[in-house]
Amino acid sequence: MVTFLSLLLTPLFTPSSHAAQESPHSISFYPVALNHTTYITNRTQGTHGGIYSAPVHRASDPDENDRYNYCTMPHPRPETYVAPEPVANGSVAATLVYVEYMQRHQRRTPYNLLSELQDQEYTCDDVHPHIYAAPAPDNNNPAPIPVYGQTYTDPTNPFLTDTIPGTCQYPQLTKGGILDGYRHGRDLRAVYGGNSLLSETGPSSQVWLRASSSALTQGSAGAVLRGLWPDYNGGIALRRQTEGIDTVDSGFTCAARERMLEQMKAARVWREHLGVTMVLREELGEMFDISEEEEDGAWMNSFDHFADAFQARVCNGYGLPCRAKKEGEKEGENCVTQEQAEEVFRAGDWEWNYWFRGSDLAKEYIQLVGGLFIGEIVRRLEGVVEGRPDWVYSHTFMHDGDLGPVLGALGIRALRWPGMGANVAVEVWRTDGEGFYARVLYSGRTVETIHGTMEWMPLGELLEILGGFVPGDIVSMCED
Ligand SMILES: *[C@@H]1O[C@H](CO)[C@@H](O)[C@H](O)[C@H]1NC(C)=O
Ligand SMILES: *[C@@H]1O[C@H](CO)[C@@H](O)[C@H](O)[C@H]1NC(C)=O
Ligand SMILES: *[C@@H]1O[C@H](CO)[C@@H](O)[C@H](O)[C@H]1NC(C)=O
């Protein structure tokens, strides 16, 4: 029986099958041409099967194929979730014993504001960002009033033109983002809840919840956790490291990290991507009065800012921006076209793939950006193997810049910009007699990597892959 079992337990860890590559999910998540700058300039690529729109005041509907959706990335949900193949078909008996879940915050307003036509101002009156502090509960003091922030602009403020009039504190979460969070949590409850992993009533001591220092991730946590525990009444401690040395969201200072980014931006292929997009960048720069020099060229030397400004609009029910009206111009005369926006999104995807997959320096860069966080995950997974897990469910609310390194370390076949609510689930399964196996999901489906599809692999192999990205002595690496 033992030999029979070991035969069946041959790791299902093979290059992705042709069928898997052709599903609408797979096509949209893993563009074959993403590694080449022609991906950016080839207009027939469009959004490459991706979705860039979301409803305003309600949650996004799940896409039946779980296609790439920048506004609301798919997540594990009961309609599509199945146990790993050998477990599902009964050839292996295994129990899910640990889940390491990490996600980007849900959708939000932009970080980067364009001097655009104010025909569709951002309004956030339908969101109450709470901002109160309370003494730890005791009998001597009442709880404080739950005050929340409400943003306004004063018409006499002489700096008004530096912002967008409206009622948002950029880049705050939008109502749609919060409602997406509820759904995200409800679906996770349906998939992982109701067993020893996640109790139905509220977080046990076996659950670890963590966020970055940002209001975006903390606000997302409140929404997602409500979905996880709809009837829970108490408060929940959301762990966070000290802001100046946080291992997520580039919390610790690291000169080498910044220098390496500069080095990556000096490479021939990076300059090539700027070359092939020169006309696009000039058109957009002219439209919004942005010069190469502005903010040290931040709008012009990568697609981060334009992509962010456009995504935040289309992901919250607004149209693409138009330039502010000038002398002699008609209203809405000069607007970003769908084609321009799609090229910006493709360029953004190309850049993410470059930083964490394509560049020769990707491995070192991942170590400097995400290596410490990856190291924390590795230690937790080792704890599971050694039979002394600290907890059985871990959920970290973080940023695109934290998911990129994790996906890069996994060796994802192609890395598009991890959109709002993007998530990775590392599942650890204990088999009868054969030790621990892992399955890794990216946005609800098994991740496709250069090592194969991570449907069923000995946990030790996963630890080996991730271990290569854990820096030895990051303090001296950062000084270099
Ligand atoms: C452009 O993209 C289309 C659609 O993906 C593809 O079929 C075509 O081969 C690409 N053309 C070039 C020149 O890369
Ligand atoms: C179950 O799935 C595994 C992995 O795909 C496969 O190797 C095995 O043959 C399947 N067993 C049965 C009984 O279908
Ligand atoms: C991706 O592009 C880099 C150069 O940026 C190159 O070194 C690498 O071999 C390419 N990978 C693939 C799979 O084409």
3-state SS, one letter per residue, for 156-219: CCCCHHHCCCCCCCCCCECHHHHHHHHHHHHHHHHHHECCCCECCCCCCCCEEEEECCCHHHHH
Q: In testing the pocket of ligand 2, which one of 9, 12, 82, 85 has its CB within 8 Å of the most ligand atoms?
A: 85
Q: Is residue 17's pLDDT more than 60?
A: no
Over residues 426-440, the mean pLDDT reads 95
Instruction: Show the tokens assigned to 184.
Output: 């995200």
85 lines ligand 2 (CB under 6 A): yes
For residue 209, the cross-strand partners are 395
Reported as a single tens digit per residue, the pLDDT across 315-366 is 999 999 988 777 777 766 789 999 999 999 999 999 999 999 999 999 999 9
Mean pLDDT, rounded, of the chain: 92
Q: Is residue 7's pLDDT more than 50?
A: no
* pLDDT value for 332: 65
38 lines ligand 1 (CB under 6 A): yes
Over residues 56-83, the mean pLDDT reads 96
pTM (2 decimals)?
Answer: 0.93
What distance in Å separates the CA atoms of residue 395 and residue 446, rounded to the nearest whole number? 18
**Most confident option among 138-142, 288-292, 412-416:** 412-416
> Which residue in this structure is represented by tokens 């980007």?
104
Q: Is residue 267's pLDDT more than 90?
A: yes
**Which of the four pLDDT bands, split at 50, 70 and 90, describes residue 21?**
low
Strand-pair category, 452-453 with 436-442: unpaired
What distance in Å separates the CA atoms of residue 109 and residue 421, rounded to the nearest whole number? 14
358 lines ligand 3 (CB under 6 A): yes
Instruction: Show the tokens assigned to 143.
Output: 């709880």
Atom of ligand 1 nearest to the CA of 39: 14
31 lines ligand 3 (CB under 6 A): no
89 lines ligand 2 (CB under 6 A): yes
Q: In testing the pocket of ligand 1, which one of 32, 45, 349, 350 has its CB within 8 Å of the most ligand atoms?
A: 45
Please indicate whether residue 459 or residue 11 has the higher confidence score (pLDDT).
459
C-alpha of residue 41 to centroid of ligand 1, in Å: 10
* pLDDT value for 10: 44
Atom of ligand 3 nearest to the CA of 357: 1
Q: Is residue 12's pLDDT more than 60?
A: no
**Which of the four pLDDT bands, split at 50, 70 and 90, describes residue 117?**
low
* pLDDT value for 115: 72
Whether the ω angle into residue 171 lies within 30 degrees of 0, i.e. cis, is yes
Please count the CA atoms within 13 angstroms of the CA of 346 that sit on its side-chain side.
30
Nearest CA to 393 out of 425, 418, 423, 422 is that of 425
C-alpha of residue 407 to centroid of ligand 1, in Å: 26
* pLDDT value for 3: 36
36 lines ligand 3 (CB under 6 A): no
